[in-house]
Amino acid sequence: MQDAPVLFVIDDDPRTRSVVEGELCKRYGLDYRLISTESADDPLRLLARLSVDRRLVAIVLAVQWLFRMTGAQVLARVREFHPTAKRVLLADWGDLASYEPIQHAIALGQLDAYVAPPAAASAVGEGSIAIHLVHDYLRADNLRRSLACAPRSSARQMSAWCAQVTP
């Protein structure tokens, strides 16, 4: 599993980080390597190191309010190291202070999505929206990698099939 794609989680709160870790490990632990960190560990340095080591980072999830910077600020820099990584911001429902930074980051193309962290979503009866979003991104990532590895004719056939089944 050393060469498995990476799911990268950034959260300064050990309780919510452990919830996210638990859900991701339970569902994706066999196919992906989970790396979880807090902002004090310098997540950008860790992402740079993964890039130098030629490790594929599939998704970076970051909570908005970190001690050293915001999650939106971290996600804005992910593409420097991992251009194909999906960037997901975890922000609590009703956190009005997050609204402007989220809209700004989306407008600039600095994050792909934002959702409530699993613990917060469960508290309002939404289930684990973050994990469902991760699942959709990983399914698309696996398809993209399959197409990249397939012979040309198979890739064209697969693209045509995807166009037929995609609404």
pTM of the entire predicted model: 0.72
The token pair at 88 is: 């997901």
Q: In what side-by-side order are the strands of the sheet with 113-115? A: 33-37, 6-10, 57-63, 86-90, 113-115
The token pair at 3 is: 């060469």
Question: Which of 52, 32, 42, 30 lies closest to 77 in space, CA to CA?
Answer: 42
Give the whole-angstrom CA distance, residue 6 versus residue 1. Answer: 10
**In the chain, where the domains are located:** 6-133
Per residue of the chain (167 residues), give pLDDT as tens.
568 999 999 998 888 888 888 888 888 888 899 999 988 788 999 999 999 999 999 999 998 888 888 889 999 999 999 999 999 988 877 777 777 887 888 888 889 888 877 764 444 444 455 666 666 666 665 545 544 554 444 555 555 555 555 54
Give the whole-angstrom CA distance, residue 11 versus residue 62. Answer: 6
CATH 3.40.50.2300 corresponds to the domain 6-133: yes
